[in-house]
Structure 1
Amino acid sequence: MSTRLTRDPSGWLTHTFDWQSIESRSCDVKMRNTTAATCLWEKAKERSDEVAIYFDDGSQLTYGQLAREVHVVAGALRGLGLEVGDRVSAQLPNWREFVSINLACCALGLVFNPIIPIYRGAELGFILRDAGTKVLFIPEEYRGLNYVETIRALRGNLPALEHVIVVRPASGVAALKQLGATGLETFLSARTDKSSIYPEVSPDHVKLLMYTSGTTGQPKGVLHTHNTLNRVVDNILALRQLGPADVMFMASPVTHVTGYSACEMPLTTEVKAAIMERWDKARAVDFIERTRSTFSVGATPFLHELVQECSQRANRLPTMKHFACGGAAVPPELIRQAHRVFEHCRCFRVYGSTEVPLVSQGVTERSLEELAATTDGRIFNYEVRVVSSEGAVLGHGQEGELLVRGPAMMVGYTDAESTRASLTDDGFFLTGDLGYVTEAGDVVITGRKKDLIIRGGENISAKEIEDVLHTHELIQEAAVVSMPHPRLGEGIAAYIKLSDPTRPVSLGDVAAHIESNGLARQKTPERIEFIEEFPRTASGKIRKDLLRQDIRTKLAGTGS
């Protein structure tokens, strides 16, 4: 396979593969060659009154309603003078407005950049600068965070940002204007362009920019096209044989690659979606029952709490068929327990990332419960190569780094050098994850080369936290590692060497320092261990494997 970099209309260099050069191709690389917006226009014309998406506040969107909303948003965006390839960001909860904004960008050939709502000053400023965002959609306030104030503080360092649109504002028009923002209703009512003629958008152009934590401390901007994202959805449907009778229950943030799929699956396929604003186990059970949802993809805590709630209610969720679980570590006993509680639902582990979504699709057969509990699932429509630290290809059952390629993988990062460094010459993505492949074709993840902590399904860069800790006057050196967490899979532990042992820092001091530097609260260490000297390799690198082992031993000894 030959790999080359080409410049996308967005301005970024993306990698292109010649799949036809593979003599014995093991992947189905057939692409839909369409966009979600094109699919929406067709469905709105053919079945306007049919429900596409349910929301847990009791509202719903039919294809006709959605098409009308998208036309309005697209007209308002076009009135700003945006051109194909320009970037629009949205830092929103799981609200219906997110769906319309995403599809309006899709119709206009804009690059849509969803931003996880927990991100604050430091992360948000980097993302908006790196993306070159021209238009930003935010709530005014949500879950105690004031987004308008955050943007006002950052705006002087965001030269590309021209418009800030506030969704569901609490303040009046004058107050928002004073803050340099516009309410969504004001923005939409002022539109003068009511044309329903849209530019011709290539399905191979970049449509989604999504940031994921990197090992260097700065997030990496992952680029996907209309075709790669459609292929992600098609992989799910092909293996699990889903169709018009199925409804995807989604409680993950729509700003995450997992949750985002629920916004477009009802358009490019016959499957409907049921989107929950924020996770609540009791509301989740009620919502699944009301919408007769049949499958879901979610983080480990969701499955754990769903099992708890259903067990207490003696509710076996009879409509559910599949629950794919990933992000945080999945205890094998949780899978077994779920199968005892649910009537029909098969639960299983899956493996993937923003760069290579859903490399494995789980194990759905009822007779293979142990494989579902002890492996990360059947590899589907991806090629996986396992290599040693020297680059030698390893056989079945041998542990090494996983290299992955397939038609649903990203087309690169916003940084061209990162794109080049992440790929082999023949187009495999270096995942940084350690594991092995069984003879049956199941993948098992055993660890990570990347210095990442996966907390409740969210990637957190250890280095990013360390860089902030090193700015504290009382901390000489710090090392951040993952530790077992009963609910989130992994928590954050900080090993600290003090500048002066007689002047210790408390967990509260560390939390205040993290917050004052603009990091999200989720990046605050939950435990501190003081250390006189770090264990190191011969080259001087800190032995984080020993620190992880140490914290596991200590937690096991305390019963935490």
Structure 2
Amino acid sequence: MEVPDWQTIPRMLRDLAEEHPSDTVVVDGPVRLTLAELRTRAGGIARGLIALGVRAGDRVAIWGPNDLHWVVCAFGVWDAGAVLVPLSSRFKGVEAAGVLRSTGTNVLITGHGHDGTVLADLLAETAGGPARGLPFAGLPDLRHSIVPEELERPGSLRPSQLLSAGSRIGHAEAEDRARAVRPDDLCEIMSTSGTTGTPKGVMLEHAPTLRGYRDWAEIVTLGPGDRYPVIAPFSHGFGLNAGLLASVMRRATMMPIRVFGPELLAALIRDRRITILAGPPTLFHRLLEETDVGDHALRVAICGAASVPPELVRRLTEQIGLERVINAYGLMEGTVVAMTRADDPVEVVASSAGRPVPGMEVRIVGDDGLDVPAGERGEVLVRGYGVMRGYWGEPDKTAEVIRDGWLHTGDVGTLDPRGNLSIVDRKKELFISGGFNVSPAEVEGLLLREGSLAQAAVIGVPDARLGEVGWAFVVPRPGAAVDPEKIIAWARDNMSNYKAPRRVIVVEALPANANGKIDKRALRARVAH
């Protein structure tokens, strides 16, 4: 595929704003933003960040739900030559503080949580209030915090104050900063739990990220005139790169979705006339079973799941009249790896993630590291331009997963004779709840902070609405009385809702295998019975 010679996100925005200034790329409620307006407003944020002392390569975090402000600030961060650190709007204070601390983030831009919570206040509860010229005493690298305009928080600035500070910075200086960004500079540090449960920061560079999601958008046929609701959070790789970034690159109209509910689906299709829809298979089952589609403009569905029922694909094309149903495979560490194509039959779309995208290679290897025959299971290895630079500040963990140029994904898959990749098992222990990856090890570590537990083991259990939910088996500390409902309530107060276990089971001891590790197969068997 021909790839534009942008190489960096600031250059991409400038080229498109000059060539297509009046194209609308964001619609958020009644507010519409063109490419020219996006460039202007992003430039204001960039000058404000420069005025605060942000240097090229500094980390700037954004913490809030999908909205217009998030979009503008992201491009402002990139224009300033800084590295974007997205934080989930579902994070609690302890989770946000962990990412900010590990990445050495210098500036934090915050919003409100889904329920109206002031996110900065959650952080203050964990990291302390302002002290010694810092907005949060327990975060020594974090020099500045930006809170929503209507708030007044000691030690923090409001967006208007950020823009006012930026007025001291000349446009030429800001342009020089934006144009000085290099193709191999970092653009993002994305949080992922990976296979170990300890959150890590995936380092992604400008040029590979642009190429990967331009190719993705090309295959999806996303382009001018498309209306694309971005349901996945901007803090997630898909929401940020296949949503926010891809929409601007392809001059499509993005609609940031703060909170997605069943009632919104019908409104998106009937009233907002969306043309592209991405989500898990459960979303499209809901579209078929619960939504009166009627006259619509929807033409492409992107499922992105290990397995999609063939009947779902048929119904979407025959009953709804979609042009395409697309399945794909990617991961934070490897960007876009494989996608189904326009001429693929239903069976291929339903059972595989298609073939590798140009510039990416896939191997399936056995325990001996050798390639297995077509159709046999093995670990999925990935090589190509989209593989991450590594994990932020963790060279040892980087070396564990990138060996001899190949990214060892930890996923189990097969390749058919035509090269179609099927994922047949997820990374060790990881499960997906409501479209969010959940690492049991991370949840277990958070649960142990509650204070009354000696051990915790979390597994994913099938759930009709969310796909899977967490169940926690817990062992009390000596002399402690554990109330499962209180543990669940504590979890909801102290971790993202999709991570919080839906059920807690108190046991005297956890089963162990021959290696002395917790035997989660035994726990799953207990649930099955």
Give the TM-score of the pair, scaled to structure 1: 0.84
Equivalent runs, 1:82-121 vs 2, <5 Å? 82-121=54-93
Please report how far the alpha carbon of residue 439 of structure 1 lies from its aligned counterpart in structure 2 after TM superposition: 1.5
Amino acid in structure 2 at the alignment position of 1:383:
E
In 1: Cα distance, 2:280 partner to 2:422 partner: 17
Residue in 2 aligned with 1:350? 328
Please report how far the alpha carbon of residue 304 of structure 1 lies from its aligned counterpart in structure 2 after TM superposition: 3.2
Q: C-alpha offsets along residues 164-219 of structure 1, whole Å, 9 cap, x if unaligned?
A: 1113x433xxx32x3x2111122213331131432211011111111012343321
Equivalent runs, 1:76-475 vs 2, <5 Å? 76-140=48-112, 142-153=114-125, 154=127, 155-167=136-148, 169-171=149-151, 175-176=152-153, 178=154, 180-191=155-166, 192-196=168-172, 197-199=175-177, 200-261=180-241, 262-289=243-270, 292-310=273-291, 313-315=292-294, 317=296, 319-326=297-304, 330-362=308-340, 364-365=342-343, 368-381=345-358, 382-414=360-392, 415-425=394-404, 427-470=405-448, 475=453
In 2: Cα distance, 1:206 partner to 1:332 partner: 40
Please report how far the alpha carbon of residue 329 of structure 1 lies from its aligned counterpart in structure 2 after TM superposition: 6.4
Please report how far the alpha carbon of residue 94 of structure 1 lies from its aligned counterpart in structure 2 after TM superposition: 1.0
Distance 1:64 1:449, change over 3 A: closer
Kept in 1, the 8 Å contact 2:219–2:341? The answer is no
Distance 1:327 1:548, change over 3 A: farther
Please report how far the alpha carbon of residue 90 of structure 1 lies from its aligned counterpart in structure 2 after TM superposition: 0.3
Distance 1:79 1:410, change over 3 A: same
Distance 1:468 1:263, change over 3 A: closer
Q: Which runs of 5+ in 2 are unaligned?
A: 128-135
In 1: Cα distance, 2:417 partner to 2:235 partner: 36
Q: C-alpha offsets along residues 55-91 of structure 1, whole Å, 9 cap, x if unaligned?
A: 3x13211112112211211111111122110111000
Kept in 1, the 8 Å contact 2:101–2:141? The answer is yes
Distance 1:141 1:268, change over 3 A: closer
In 1: Cα distance, 2:53 partner to 2:448 partner: 44
In 2: Cα distance, 1:465 partner to 1:50 partner: 44
Distance 1:331 1:534, change over 3 A: farther
Counterpart secondary structure, 1:351: strand
In 2: Cα distance, 1:529 partner to 1:74 partner: 50
The 10-residue stretch of structure 1 (140-149 or 123-132) with the greater mean CA deviation from structure 2 = 140-149
Kept in 2, the 8 Å contact 1:52–1:272? The answer is yes
In 2: Cα distance, 1:536 partner to 1:316 partner: 56
Residue in 2 aligned with 1:20? none
- 2:9 is aligned with 1:36: yes
In 2: Cα distance, 1:238 partner to 1:106 partner: 23
The 10-residue stretch of structure 1 (151-160 or 200-209) with the greater mean CA deviation from structure 2 = 151-160
Distance 1:530 1:334, change over 3 A: farther
Distance 1:478 1:53, change over 3 A: same
Distance 1:468 1:329, change over 3 A: farther
Q: C-alpha offsets along residues 216-247 of structure 1, whole Å, 9 cap, x if unaligned?
A: 33211011111111122122134344443444
Q: C-alpha root-mean-square deviation of aligned residues, in Å?
A: 2.7
Kept in 2, the 8 Å contact 1:400–1:436? The answer is yes
Please report how far the alpha carbon of residue 497 of structure 1 lies from its aligned counterpart in structure 2 after TM superposition: 4.0
Q: C-alpha offsets along residues 380-401 of structure 1, whole Å, 9 cap, x if unaligned?
A: 2321111222323212111111
Residue in 1 aligned with 2:131? none
Counterpart secondary structure, 2:455: strand
Distance 1:228 1:550, change over 3 A: farther
Please report how far the alpha carbon of residue 118 of structure 1 lies from its aligned counterpart in structure 2 after TM superposition: 0.7
Q: C-alpha offsets along residues 286-315 of structure 1, whole Å, 9 cap, x if unaligned?
A: 3345554332332344333333343xx142
Q: Which structure exhibits the higher relative contact order, with contacts defined as CA atoms closer than 8 Å and separated by 6 or more residues?
A: 1
Distance 1:487 1:363, change over 3 A: farther
The 10-residue stretch of structure 1 (199-208 or 356-365) with the greater mean CA deviation from structure 2 = 356-365
In 2: Cα distance, 1:298 partner to 1:75 partner: 36
In 2: Cα distance, 1:446 partner to 1:230 partner: 29
Equivalent runs, 1:452-531 vs 2, <5 Å? 452-470=430-448, 475-498=453-476, 505-515=482-492, 518-531=494-507
Alignment partner of 1:58 out of 30, 33, 36:
30
Distance 1:389 1:321, change over 3 A: same
Q: C-alpha offsets along residues 251-270 of structure 1, whole Å, 9 cap, x if unaligned?
A: 11112111112222244334
In 2: Cα distance, 1:165 partner to 1:298 partner: 31
Kept in 2, the 8 Å contact 1:323–1:348? The answer is yes
Amino acid in structure 1 at the alignment position of 2:146:
I
The 10-residue stretch of structure 1 (276-285 or 409-418) with the greater mean CA deviation from structure 2 = 276-285
Distance 1:490 1:230, change over 3 A: same
Alignment partner of 1:70 out of 35, 42, 60:
42
Amino acid in structure 1 at the alignment position of 2:17:
A
Amino acid in structure 2 at the alignment position of 1:49:
S
In 2: Cα distance, 1:129 partner to 1:36 partner: 26
Q: C-alpha offsets along residues 3-62 of structure 1, whole Å, 9 cap, x if unaligned?
A: xxxxxxxxxxxxxxxxxxxxxxxxx7978452222222233233322212223x132111
Distance 1:550 1:170, change over 3 A: same
In 1: Cα distance, 2:286 partner to 2:89 partner: 22
Amino acid in structure 2 at the alignment position of 1:224:
L
Counterpart secondary structure, 1:358: strand
Give the TM-score of the pair, scaled to structure 2: 0.88
Amino acid in structure 2 at the alignment position of 1:250:
V
Distance 1:349 1:550, change over 3 A: farther
Residue in 1 aligned with 2:22? 49
The 10-residue stretch of structure 1 (105-114 or 144-153) with the greater mean CA deviation from structure 2 = 144-153
Please report how far the alpha carbon of residue 421 of structure 1 lies from its aligned counterpart in structure 2 after TM superposition: 1.3
Counterpart secondary structure, 1:156: coil
Please report how far the alpha carbon of residue 347 of structure 1 lies from its aligned counterpart in structure 2 after TM superposition: 2.8
Number of aligned positions between the proteins: 512
Please report how far the alpha carbon of residue 345 of structure 1 lies from its aligned counterpart in structure 2 after TM superposition: 4.4
Amino acid in structure 2 at the alignment position of 1:419:
T
Distance 1:547 1:30, change over 3 A: farther
Distance 1:527 1:331, change over 3 A: farther
